[in-house]
Structure 1
Amino acid sequence: SLLTKVGSPGVVVGPAAGSRPRINVLPGFDPYVGNAREIRRLLDQLGVDVTVLGDHSDTLDSPADGDYQLYPGGTPLAAVKAAPGAVASLPLQAFSTRRSRQLIGDTWGQPVLDVAPPIGIRNTDAMLMAVAEATGTDIPAEVTAERG
């Protein structure tokens, strides 16, 4: 897999000084492209940058406007190369991301946030709290008000 190529010693790129914390999100086999976009939106409100490793949202949700593009969107390779320097990784499915979890923990030495898929208010709140704890950020009032 591509993740095995970026986790070698000497390839890890840490965050720039003064930059926002970054989390890797591994959606697994989630066919609902809006989920990745919503997670990115929520974490952006927490002040966290997101790299979706395996971002197919634009690829599967591109318009049929007559202008052909071979696989629009996706995760840029530069973002994949920087993934080992993230604060933590957030796999969203237990079984389809099992090997990635092991690689990230063993090779990158990165914390892997173990939360249930963010389906429903309880699980979404648990995900937000885990990310806030890992990144040292606070959950802003607008997210708290939105969550109820």
Structure 2
Amino acid sequence: MDHDEDRRTGRDETEEERADRMWGELIQEVRVAQTGVQILFGFLLTVVFQSKYERLSDTDQTIYIVTVVLGAAATGALIGPVSLHRLVSGQSVKPQAVAWASRLTFVGLLLLLATMTSALLLVLRVATHDGYVPWLVAGVVAWYLLCWYGLPMWTRYRHTNR
């Protein structure tokens, strides 16, 4: 690593050391998201067995099915980094594995956003049939987008030299 790169990253680490550090950070992040998506997905799987499910409108049943599929996809994407690591461990490809695991995590977070949005829409539609439900859901989605993407991107833009 040359001197300019040391100053840019603020760390004196090899590519492998950086990959090890980034892997540890990524796994900690994934653990938080995995827990949330697994609890939500588990709950969603039980809804169809409730007696009230049959009384849902066709639209609400469609929203439910979409929500379950999104939850399954989010679960897959957020568990993917663990499987990726296990299958390539010891193969001297950790920097590449970190890059792919990071992509899977990002996709998983997008799918989790979609799952939570869809679940919120379904719950609020069932709880109340008022016309403000789409606006309330849009407000919550805007909040998610701000917390999950807006603030991090603003911080990245504001506090990096890249």
TM-score (norm 1): 0.29
The structure number with the bigger radius of gyration is 2
Give the structure with the higher percent helix.
2
Structure showing greater relative contact order (alpha-carbon pairs closer than 8 Å, 6 or more residues apart): 1
TM-score (norm 2): 0.27
Give the structure with the higher percent strand.
1
